[in-house]
Structure 1
Amino acid sequence: MAALELSSSRHGDRTVLHISGELDIISRAELVTCLDKTIREHGARIILDLTGLDFMDTSALSTVVSYWKRLTAGGDGYLALAGAQYRTARVLWITGLAQRLPMYDDVAAALEGTESHA
């Protein structure tokens, strides 16, 4: 099992949260803590970089969807996904959320695509 690793970088008023390893029912608490801290310190414009993701389960997906709804409800925030691959995050496609969540091929595309929200 690959341990979850989280890091972040700032791009203007947006934060890119880089996620590596496995995101599951056990490690999702780390993600929640990191997201809450990011929102509190830097605001509600977040891109999740899933390039280094090895696995995502439905509990982690539920967390992502919950934050997506929360951040977009206020009108000034958003949560976008970058670099999600079918082999590691297939739950996004199986549930149909890959068609609903804002998804980009990579972080550069996500930064460009969310620029109008900045």
Structure 2
Amino acid sequence: MTKKGTLTGIVGFHAPKGRAPQQEIPAPKPKPAAFEIISTDWCSFCKRAKEKLDELGLTYRESLLDSQEKIASFKAAGFTTVPQIYHNGSHIGGYMELLDWLEKNHAPTS
């Protein structure tokens, strides 16, 4: 039971300015990435795609083609260019397709 006028330690309570709560309130968990970008370090269109998503505040997970094994698997799947971008598991395409997708589904791209 808390004393009258003290709510310190109750979840969701923010202590008055200058006073710290006795119990730490956990930070919210980050949202899972809605986009996945398969990319390389040297690809300018990959960089632009990541910058566009960052600019719009959209989360993404990057999968780098940074080994011969990953590149071989990528090519075996029929892909020849990067980036390859997915939204919630659905293939969008490359950078230009991402811009089209964002224009239709999310926000202006300019």
Same fold at TM > 0.5: no
| Higher share of residues assigned strand | 1
Give the TM-score taking structure 1 as reference length: 0.25
| Higher share of residues assigned helix | 1
- Structure number with greater Rg is 2
Give the TM-score taking structure 2 as reference length: 0.27
